Amino acid sequence: MSTLLVGACPGLPVCAAVHTYLFVDGLDLVARSDSRMVGLEPRRLLRPGGPLYPGDMPRTVEVAAGAGVGGLAVRVRLRGESVIWSGLMYPGLDDGVVGEVRFRLRQYLGEVERAYAAALE
């Protein structure tokens, strides 16, 4: 099982805009997928019932965008007590391609809710 950690950049003067960091097992998913992209605004991604909340039906969620490079999307689905992200293509710790990650539902929801509350501060 993987671990999700969500962070946010507050915008100026630190970053050009407010955006989300998605760390999967300690690796920045967005930067490792395409360094020209930045995560979308945290309130948009993390809101209760929002895009990153798993539902009964699998769905494709855009998590990052970049000027002239399109977007980065993950497929989010719930299977029992696991949240699965698939459709990934980034180098893992061993430089092998990571195509899918699984999170424990409780850890995943706790982290999304924690990060959303922090984004509201």
| Model pLDDT for residues 37-82, shown as the tens digit of each residue | 999 999 999 999 999 999 889 999 999 998 777 899 999 999 999 9
Residues 6+ apart with CB under 8 A from 53: 109, 112
According to DSSP, the residues that pair with 44 across neighbouring strands are none
Question: In the prediction, which pLDDT does 66 show?
Answer: 84
Reported as a pLDDT band with limits 50, 70 and 90, residue 11 is confident
**pTM given for the model:** 0.91
pLDDT score recorded for residue 108: 97
What does the DSSP assignment read for 40-94? PPHHHHHSTTSTTS--SS-EEEEEEEETTTEEEEEEEEEETTEEEEEEEEEE-TT
Query: What is the overall mean pLDDT for the chain?
Result: 92
